[in-house]
Amino acid sequence: MYKLIAIDIDGTLLNDAHELVVPVIERIKEAKRAGAKVVLCSGRPLVGLRHSLEQLGLLDAEDYAITMNGAIVLKTKSGEIVADSALDKAALQDIFAFCAPLGAHLTYLDATKMYVPHEEISILTCKDSLLLQTPLYYQPVDKAPDDIRVAKAMLLDEPEKIDEVVAALTEELHEKYYIVRSVPYNLEFLHKGISKGTALKQLADSLGIPREEVMAIGDAENDISMLEYAGMPVVMGNAAEHIKQLGKFITKTNNEAGVAHALEELVLN
């Protein structure tokens, strides 16, 4: 029996219309009733998970979520943070100094809000704010509070612009930060050493659950670390081939209720 099941959101839990379908909801509730601790594991903040958590019945006192690609682990009901690995203002200024000359649109997030340092806000940033149900504010980097804790700094731009930024990344930046691209229009900068995988290990250790009893389900680059950690890595049918190579089990696509299929085959049977 897998006692801890970590599930990515976009491209995994949700279909391409960003919806939860009935078979997925039912299988996750069954897995929880069977004794498994189901944890949503996402690049989103908690507020961007709230609707899914409500639908799945994952808002009890001892339910957890891994948010911001591993930067913040918290209890879903109370919002109590149990692990926090954030960037400081100096790191934010460093990242902004790299991105600004390239004309890339930077967004940065604390535990509850999104900020943009540019007077012109890209449509992709607005769409992401709506998708994540997270309030968006204009705040220049130099006006950010000195004690700000930045869960992640993120570029939201056309894929061609993100390609340009990726090509310009220096070895020094890679040494300082964990840099990951989860979708073509996105590039994220997080605290070095932080990922979904490190957060999942930390949570599993705190709960006394061995790696062999951990399952992770994902589809994208930012899921690689948790797939590599989990005793049972499950990869979605819609994932790229190099990510499928990490899976011990390849399930159906997110548009075919692949999470439900994986739980039926590996947990509920």
Number of domains in the chain: 2
Contact 118, 140 (CB under 8 A): no
Q: Are residues 35 and 166 in the same domain?
A: no
Q: Which CATH number goes with the domain that contains 171?
A: 3.30.1240.10
Structure tokens belonging to residue 128: 């992401």
Decide if pLDDT at 269 tops 90: no
**Edge-to-edge order in the sheet of strand 177-180:** 136-138, 114-116, 106-109, 152-156, 186-191, 177-180
How far is residue 233 from each of residues 33, 74, 160, 203, 264, measured CA to CA in Å?
22, 23, 31, 17, 15
Q: Are residues 148 and 174 in the same domain?
A: yes
Q: Are residues 76 and 202 in the same domain?
A: yes
φ, ψ for residue 233 (rounded to 5)? -85, 125
Residue where a domain terminates, one of 153, 171, 191 = 191
Q: Are residues 104 and 234 in the same domain?
A: no
Q: Can you give the residue range of the structural domain that contains 69?
A: 4-84+195-266
Q: Which residues contact 243 (CB under 8 A, 6 or more apart)?
A: 218, 219, 220, 221, 223, 224, 227, 235
Contact 56, 23 (CB under 8 A): no
Q: Are residues 228 and 183 in the same domain?
A: no
Q: Are residues 174 and 95 in the same domain?
A: yes
- At residue 1, the pLDDT reads 82
**What is the percentage of the chain residues whose pLDDT exceeds 70?**
100
Which burial class, exposed, middle or buried, applies to 209 when counting CB atoms under 10 A from its CB (0-12, 13-18, 19+)? middle
Give which of 222, 220, 225 is closest to 236, Cα–Cα: 220
Residue where a domain terminates, one of 142, 169, 191 = 191
What are the contacts of 234-243 at 24+ separation with CB within 8 A?
234/262, 234/266, 236/11, 236/12, 238/11, 239/11, 243/218, 243/219
Q: Are strands 152-156 and 114-116 parallel, antiparallel or unpaired?
A: unpaired
72-102 pLDDT tens trace: 999 999 999 998 888 999 999 999 999 999 9
Give the mean pLDDT of 107-130. 90
- At residue 111, the pLDDT reads 82
Residue where a domain terminates, one of 191, 211, 234 = 191
Q: Are residues 223 and 237 in the same domain?
A: yes
**Active site annotation includes 8:** yes
pTM for this prediction: 0.86
12-40 pLDDT tens trace: 999 999 999 999 999 999 999 999 999 99
Q: Are residues 110 and 169 in the same domain?
A: yes
Q: Which residues contact 101 (CB under 8 A, 6 or more apart)?
A: none
Decide if pLDDT at 132 tops 90: no
In whole angstroms, give the CA distance from residue 126 to residue 134. 10
Q: Which of 8, 10, 63, 110 is catalytic?
A: 8
Q: Are residues 60 and 103 in the same domain?
A: no
142-187 pLDDT tens trace: 999 999 999 999 999 999 999 999 999 999 999 999 998 888 899 9
